[in-house]
Chains A and B, each alone.
Chain A
Amino acid sequence: MDEIVSLENVSVYFNGVPILEDINLSIKQDDFLAIIGPNGGGKTTLLKVILGLIKPSKGKVKVFGKSPEEGRKLVGYLPQYVSFDPNFPISVFEVVLMGRYKGVLQGFSEEDKNAALNALKIVGMTEFKDRQISELSGGQLQRVFMARAIVREPKLLLLDEPTASIDPEMQKTFYELLQKLKKKMAIILVTHDIGAISVYVDKIACLNRKLFYHGLKDEGLEKLKEAYGCPVELIFHGIPYRFLEGHKD
């Protein structure tokens, strides 16, 4: 099975307002795709459609050939915001273990616990496993939620603005982690970080209610302007100049 996610003519309306219109998207097994676009362009909504958290008003969604609710067993998810009470009585290890949930009345096995420890090792948080989550910094929390996303060894990883809340030094480590993970799973990354895209990502999709481009990144960056509806500042890593177009009007 080569195609793991397919969206056909998907539209989402909230109270009659279009959020996504006529989206066609196909994700393959070894894709590393970045979705870029302005705020309110529907990027998070698109991820939630793939996860089955939002039902499309029109169109068909298949995840691993099944409905999103079925297919998401193979999907890991790192949300942009996790709204929780910082004093919630739960430890780092327990948060990660939750990602291994199998079903009602099914406890966590030794295998699940080992997987949780392993995921914490991958994100470099092993020594924090017994900490209560209120004792962590923003960047550390982000790594814990990352461990929670990969603990079930997903075949597809959805990341929503993963670098927005961490400092630049951590961002590099984070992208290096993704480089390792992409050998084992397809990755869809929603981001504003165009610099990182130019270095690490293979394909891009430009989304502003409609999908403006979907394909290899080199041709796609040109199309950014169309998606944003306004010139975009592009700063390429390793390229010693800034690319900034003026407004047309």
Chain B
Amino acid sequence: MIEIFQYEFMRNALIAAILVSIACGIVGSYVVIKRIVFISGGISHTAFGGIGLGYLLGLNPILTTIPFTIFAALGIGIISKRLRVSEDAAIGILWAVGMALGVIFISLSPGYAPDLFGYLFGSILTVPPFDLIVMLFLDAVIVIVFLLFYREFLAISFDEEFSRVVGIPVGSLYLLLLCLVALSVVVLIRVVGVILVIALLTIPAAISRQFVYNIKKLILLSIFIGMFLTIAGLWLSYILNLASGATIVLVLGTAFLLSSLFKR
């Protein structure tokens, strides 16, 4: 297995897997315990609009996706809390509108759209070094925000009403948490693509929470499991010559199934 890492693209893929696991471990743990899996799914699909915008403007799609997903996160959060629209309706609307915008942007942009399939379904073997730096930067932001606000995130995930009573600014922190989801979506896009992002945001944390009952342990175990399974998926896709993003997701899914059976 070691010899495959003599290729630069493999080393980059390994770094990408590690960066992705950190974002998934931290943000994914909250996504699972606060039960915002489908909000996160909505945000990730909306990200396709940001990718389309990148093609249209001739910029790196990873960069244009950052403001786009942040906007989607705030949109879903604000619409569902302030207007008389249920959360799942808000998710559904932004999900479809985001993807439709992406399609329009891409059809308006000149010429052929290279790598489009990679943004949809992931392509961990072709992550360029610049994107790795963006992912590292976003990971740093996620870790810092988490360290500053983990108490509040835990409190609002457990009991929103009581959090409000003790003076936690629940609304703002919920939006901040959704913004962290948005940033982690950007970190993940290169590896599994907008459509499969939700698997990495949920499965490592869903496996881990069967075994640990403490948020810090949950996050650490999720990071570790995410790293192990992503690298295992990467290796399998290499030796079997299969699509990397989909293979990683299937490895995650199989691991979840086995861990649930084992726990039962």
Contact = CB atoms under 8 A, between A and B. Distances in A.
Nearest to B152: A104
Interface of B: 33, 35, 148-149, 151-152, 154-155, 157-159, 161-169, 209, 212-215, 217-218
B19 to A, nearest CB: 24
Given A77-B165, A79-B161, A104-B168, 4 more contacts: A82-B161, A89-B33, A99-B162, A105-B148
Contacts, number: 70
B215 A82 contact: no
B158 A98 contact: yes
A79 B162 contact: yes
Nearest to A105: B148
A148 B214 CA distance: 19
B167 A84 contact: no
Given A84-B159, A90-B154, A104-B152, A98 B166 contact: yes
Contacts of A83: 159
A90 B209 CA distance: 11
A3 to B, nearest CB: 21
Contacts of A196: none
Interface in A47-106: 51, 53, 72-73, 75, 77, 79, 82-85, 87-91, 94-95, 98-99, 101-105
Contact of B33 (A72, A85, A94): A85
**Interface pairs A-B: 7 shortest CB-CB:** A132-B213, A101-B166, A89-B213, A89-B218, A77-B165, A89-B215, A98-B155
A101 B159 contact: no
Given A53-B164, A98-B166, A104-B152, A91 B159 contact: no
A101 B155 contact: yes
Contacts of A89: 33, 209, 212-215, 217-218
18 contacts: A51-B165, A53-B161, A82-B161, A84-B159, A85-B33, A89-B209, A89-B215, A90-B158, A90-B213, A98-B158, A98-B159, A99-B162, A101-B155, A101-B166, A104-B152, A105-B148, A132-B213, A132-B214
A73 B167 contact: yes
Contacts of A73: 167
Contact of A88 (B33, B152, B162): B33
Interface string A9-43: 00000000000000000000000000000000000
Name the residue in B149, B163, B214 with the highest tally of chain A Cβ atoms < 10 Å from its Cβ.
B214
A82 B159 contact: yes
Given A79-B161, A101-B166, A85 B35 contact: yes
A43 B115 CA distance: 60
A151 to B, nearest CB: 10
Interface of A: 51, 53, 72-73, 75, 77, 79, 82-85, 87-91, 94-95, 98-99, 101-105, 107-108, 132, 134, 148, 152
A75 B162 CA distance: 12
B149 A104 contact: yes
Contact of B165 (A53, A88, A108): A53
B85 to A, nearest CB: 16
A89 to B, nearest CB: 5
Given A85-B33, A104-B149, A91 B214 contact: yes
A98 B161 CA distance: 12
A94 B214 CA distance: 10
B165 to A, nearest CB: 5
Contacts of B167: 72-73, 101-103
Contacts of A94: 154
A102 B163 CA distance: 11
B176 to A, nearest CB: 11
Contacts of A148: 162
Contacts of B168: 101, 104
A75 B215 CA distance: 28
Name the residue in B166, B209, B213 with the highest tally of chain A Cβ atoms < 10 Å from its Cβ.
B166
Contacts of B151: 101, 107-108
Given A85-B33, A91-B213, A103-B167, A98 B148 contact: no
B165 A104 contact: no
